[in-house]
Amino acid sequence: MAISIKGKVAIVTGGGKGIARVFAKDGAKVVIANRNAKEGRAVVAQIKRAKGKAIFVQTDLRDPASIKSLVKETLKKYRRIDVLVHNAGIYPDALIKDLSVEVWDEVMAVSLRSTFLRTKAVAPSMVKQKKGRILITSSVTGPTVGFPSLSHYGASKGGVNAFAKGAALEYAKHGITVNTVSPGTILTDSVAALLGPKGVKETSKRIPAGGMGKVEDIAYAMLFFASDEAGFITGRDLVVDGGQVLPESSEAIL
């Protein structure tokens, strides 16, 4: 049996363009929730050109009222919510000595607090359905490894993983699973801009699989967790990093 989420209603929040496209290609009805209307509508247009189904709901993921409105609009349109993908996160570069309370709070609000808010808002409809999938984009940075100047980001992602475990236990009896996917270094537009061509080349050398991952690598991991076939997996984290965190040293990469 092929793994599929065809016909399911999936909310994809934040910058999950690749996830949204893969879900729509598989036949899901995708609701894209983003604060950036231009970006969100552009993804919807791409999906529709590919004969997929998608709508955009402008959403401030830090605002409880905005998140409630997202849930209301989704239920009004589709009558159900089968999958929620938390995919918001920011990582402003700052050493602890230079890190302001305001930046710390903003990172926590976008990555961690919003995960709680969205889960709380969506869970009642899933409980009523007696089925649902809650998926959270975490990171290897924080739960698995550390990085100087990203202590705030790592802390938020460590918190996300801890939250997922507790939520998984609370909602398991209702047929709802809660899982996280932890990407390694993925070649997104923002990562390419941050590292530059030389940085991309050097980072790729340190990944045993031979290069950085693609956004689709994360999307297909999410698609599996969203499927019926993953119904007996909850409270777990799947690292998708091409073996990046495995080597003891650079000499261990053949």
- Amino acid identity for residue 190 in this structure: S
Q: Report whether pLDDT(140) > 90.
A: yes
**174-200 mean pLDDT:** 90
Does residue 253 fall inside a structural domain? no
Q: What pLDDT does 15 receive?
A: 67
Q: What is the mean pLDDT of the chain?
A: 94
We report the CATH number of the domain holding residue 111 as: 3.40.50.720
Does residue 247 sit within a domain?
no
Say which residues have a Cβ less than 8 Å from residue 248's Cβ, sequence separation at least 6: none
Quick one: CA dihedral 127, 22, 142, 100, positive or negative? negative
Going by C-alpha positions, the residue among 169, 208, 217, 229 that lies closest to residue 1 is 229
- The reported pLDDT for the residue numbered 195 is 82
What domain count does the chain have? 1
- Among candidates 83, 87, 159, 161, which has minimal Cα distance to 122? 83
Position 248 in a domain: no
132-137 vs 9-13, strand pairing mode:
unpaired
Whether residue 1 is contained in a domain is answered as no
153/104 Cα distance (integer angstroms): 8
Tens digits of residue pLDDT in 7-25: 999 999 986 789 999 999 9
The DSSP symbol for 112 reads: I
Residue 216 is predicted with a pLDDT of 94
Within 10 angstroms of residue 126's Cβ, the number of other Cβ atoms is: 23
Q: Is residue 3 helix, strand or coil? A: coil
**Residue 68 resides in a domain:** yes
- The answer to whether residue 249 sits within a structural domain is no
pLDDT digits (tens, 9 = 90+) for 53-104: 999 999 998 899 999 999 999 999 999 999 999 998 888 989 999 999 999 9
- CA nearest neighbour of 61 among 128, 11, 129: 11
Q: What percent of the chain has pLDDT over 70?
A: 99
What is the domain extent for residue 228? 9-242
- Cβ atoms within 10 A of the Cβ of 135, count? 27
* Residues designated as active site: 153
Is the residue at 254 inside a domain? Answer: no
Per-residue confidence band for 217, with pLDDT thresholds at 50, 70 and 90 = very high
Q: How far apart are CA 28 and CA 101, in angstroms?
A: 40
| 4 in any annotated domain | no
d(CA 26, CA 205): 33
Query: Smallest Cα–Cα separation from 138: which of 240, 207, 63, 54?
Result: 240
- Contact indicator for 223, 20 with CB cutoff of 8 Å: no
Supply the pLDDT for residue 85: 97
